Amino acid sequence: MITLKDVFKQLIRDVRNEKLRTFLTVFGIVWGTVAISLMLAFGTGLHRQIIKSTAGLGDRIVIVWPGLTSIPFEGLGKGRRIRITEDDIVSVRSDVAGLKAISSEYSTNMKVDYGTKTMSVDVSGVSPEFGSMRNLIPQSGGRFINPIDMDKQRRVAFLGEKLTRDIFGESQAVGKTVLINQSPFLVIGTLVKKDQDSSYSGPDAGKMWIPSTTYRALTGEKYVNNFVFQADAATNTKRIIERTRAAFGKRLRFDAKDKEALSMWDTTEQFVFLDIFMLAFNSFLGIIGVLTLVVGGIGVSNIMNVVVEERTREIGIKMALGAKQRWILTQFLLETLLVTFLGGVIGFGISIAVCAVFPKLGFTEYVGDPVVSPLVSVLTAVALGIVGLIAGYFPARDAARLDPVVAMKL
């Protein structure tokens, strides 16, 4: 029996003997794998970075401001001011199916004192859900407003990171007490530094949040400034917007089509644009990737062709000595597989290395950090391998089909 060991010994020898050729083939596959892996890695990194800075405002949320009616409704004239209370929010929350979260937001400018410092700060009264919708992530050791704070109308405050620095400098903020409009508030958390490229009332870094129940008790405010909601799935947002507007319309008596009675900012539109942009970007990368594969494949298959031509005489000699077609082909196939495997592993390694080094170069803020997908690398190497295999297989088969005399003369 011809053992697997025999096959592999032959293989290693052939690969060793043809260093340049092996190098070229491996290089072709390495190059293709690196090019495609890195391209898609940078694409993914960029995508994530854009999402990260866009999501600074919130994760696919809708922000709603009550306004003036623009359409007469059931005998009521237009230009009527719409005011929304906490009861309206509670009622709509239970009426609208598919509403994942909703939070009212009351806000005004208040005087904040700490020690000898006095400053004027935008303070918002919100519910616990607001934190997750708006990506208000606490630094470790702190927390956002919770349901108990709401129930008990606790005097607790969550601070933006710039505001924290302005008030406390480098010292610990959580656990300290500040005065808001002369009332003492316990600092329960501070915001992590985040990338935020859009806002509707100034960046979060300079703001302060307190429970909306506390806010109302403190100020006597009955009407929300605005509210924020999130659909159960981003793709449902349009539908939930309609339902929400209709629910408020029914309750506060305005036309369900009246876009000015409630003006809404659907931040998912940004994401939709982003999704389209990324689709285009990825298609672009995909086309380049395919071209790279084609060019790489042509290279690899050329080399394989040359290999077979070079070795036709050798094939002839082996056949004269009694090698069967199957042996010859198996050897070519295994050789291609080995070379592909080698190229794929090296290519993947290089891609990983580049991705490991890249974050140290300081471009992260602009283009994000590339993330290599092992799947892409494997698929690329496999694709190139298949091209090589096909390119190597057919000439090898043709050579093995020649009469040994003919093959030996070539």
Partner 1 sequence: MNTNGTIIRMSDIRKVYDTGKVKVEALKGIDLEIHKGEMVAIVGPSGSGKSTLMNLVGCLDTPTSGEYELGGQAVSGVSRDTLAEIRNRRVGFVFQNFNLLPHISAQENVEMPLLFGGVRPAERRERAKAMLERVGLGDRVDHKPTELSGGQMQRVAIARALAMNPDIVLAVEPTGNLDSTAGSDIMSIFTDLWKQGSTMVIITHDPALARRASRVVEIRDGRITADHPSEA
Of 259 and 324, which CB lies nearer to partner 1 in the complex structure? 324
Of 16 and 360, which CB lies nearer to partner 1 in the complex structure? 16
**CA-CA distance, 35 to 13, in Å (whole number)?**
30
Of 10 and 146, which CB lies nearer to partner 1 in the complex structure? 10
Least distance to partner 1 from the beta carbon of 396, Å? Answer: 15
Of 3 and 120, which CB lies nearer to partner 1 in the complex structure? 3
**CB within 8 Å of 390: residues ≥ 6 apart:** 301
Please state at what angle helix 19-54 crosses helix 374-401, rounded to 10 degrees.
150
Least distance to partner 1 from the beta carbon of 50, Å? Answer: 55
Q: Determine the residue type at 246.
A: A
Q: Which residue has the tokens 């094939």?
A: 315
Of 132 and 325, which CB lies nearer to partner 1 in the complex structure? 325
Of 93 and 313, which CB lies nearer to partner 1 in the complex structure? 313
Q: Virtual CA dihedral for 65, 71, 74, 77, nearest 10 degrees? A: 90
Q: Where are the beta strands (DSSP E) in 152-242?
A: 156-159, 177-180, 183-190, 208-211, 226-231
Least distance to partner 1 from the beta carbon of 331, Å? Answer: 12
When computed from its CA atoms, the radius of gyration of the chain, rounded to whole angstroms, is: 33
CB 367 within 8 A of CB 39: no
Among the listed residues 331, 389, 385, the one whose alpha carbon sits nearest the alpha carbon of residue 14: 331
Of 281 and 394, which CB lies nearer to partner 1 in the complex structure? 394
Least distance to partner 1 from the beta carbon of 329, Å? Answer: 12
Least distance to partner 1 from the beta carbon of 312, Å? Answer: 13
Instruction: Tell me how far the alpha carbon of residue 333 is from its chain's centroid.
Output: 39
Least distance to partner 1 from the beta carbon of 280, Å? Answer: 52
Where on the phi/psi map is residue 106: left (φ > 0), alpha (ψ -120 to 50), or beta? Answer: beta
**CA-CA distance, 385 to 371, in Å (whole number)?**
23
Least distance to partner 1 from the beta carbon of 342, Å? Answer: 20
Q: Which residue has the tokens 């990171």?
A: 161
Least distance to partner 1 from the beta carbon of 299, Å? Answer: 24
**Interacting residues toward partner 1 by CB under 8 A:** 1-3, 5-6, 13-14, 17, 314, 317-327, 401, 403-405, 408
* Beta bridge partner(s), residue 105: 126, 226
- Count of Cβ atoms closer than 10 Å to residue 280 Cβ: 10
Of 137 and 306, which CB lies nearer to partner 1 in the complex structure? 306
Q: Which residue has the tokens 């050729």?
A: 21
Residue ranges in 153-267 assigned as alpha helix (H): 161-168, 212-219, 237-252
CB 108 within 8 A of CB 123: yes
Least distance to partner 1 from the beta carbon of 320, Å? Answer: 6
Of 264 and 323, which CB lies nearer to partner 1 in the complex structure? 323
